[in-house]
Chain A
Amino acid sequence: SAVISQKPSRDICQRGTSLTIQCQVDSQVTMMFWYRQQPGQSLTLIATANQGSEATYESGFVIDKFPISRPNLTFSTLTVSNMSPEDSSIYLCSVRTGGEGEQYFGPGTRLTVT
């Protein structure tokens, strides 16, 4: 397994501002992901954070809105840019370790945009 921490755990932000969420893993991992969990909805993959190269974004998510950094194998950041109330959600960092079925999640960052 993996121990994953996220900062901040929660925040309340004003419309039009940006927030950067940090994800730290206790071991080196190749695959790191960012998910969004909106109320009443399924968890949705935003992007795969690739170490040393640009992130790979899923349909409906763009780099200008959700820039991602991955400077090494234990750390990544997700920025939510130019926020609107529709961005209010829980943002989760996730890593894959071991076998293909082993994917673990951080505690999440609860974001409220007013």
Chain B
Amino acid sequence: QKEVEQDPGPLSVPEGAIVSLNCTYSNSAFQYFMWYRQYSRKGPELLMYTYSSGNKEDGRFTAQVDKSSKYISLFIRDSQPSDSATYLCAMSGSGAGSYQLTFGKGTKLSVIP
């Protein structure tokens, strides 16, 4: 079992739809959970990060972490064509030495006008 599983998609939705992106993980030591957006031929851009369980909202984006289920989600409301990108989940432990990010393979999202 891989440490982080992420459905690669591709996922295609109409403009204005609510998008749900998900990752599961197996390592209970993970404490920080990140979502990155990567446009074609660009580097990953940090969207949001969350510590431990709970929700975090930033504009149209909401990140959720359920540590009991080892499941994280990113919701995009009122999706726009500019949201078309690959979304990467990543996670790490906490404290000294816990700097390595473990990534999912990414989900490719297309928002159709």
Chain A interface residues toward B at CB < 8 A: 1, 4, 31, 33, 40-45, 48, 58, 92, 96, 99-108, 110
Contact = CB atoms under 8 A, between A and B. Distances in A.
Given A40-B105, A58-B100, A100 B92 contact: yes
Q: Which of B33, B41, B45, B104 has the most CB of A within 10 A?
A: B41
Nearest to A4: B43
A47 to B, nearest CB: 10
Interface of B: 4, 32-34, 36, 41-46, 49-51, 88, 90, 92, 94, 98-106
Contact of B4 (A41, A42, A106): A42
B105 A101 contact: no
A44 to B, nearest CB: 8
Nearest to B46: A104
Q: Which of B36, B43, B49, B92 has the most CB of A within 10 A?
A: B43
Given A42-B103, A101-B49, 8 more contacts: A1-B46, A45-B100, A45-B101, A96-B99, A101-B50, A103-B34, A105-B43, A108-B43
Nearest to B33: A101
14 contacts: A33-B99, A43-B101, A44-B103, A100-B94, A100-B98, A102-B46, A104-B46, A105-B36, A105-B44, A105-B46, A106-B43, A107-B42, A107-B43, A110-B41
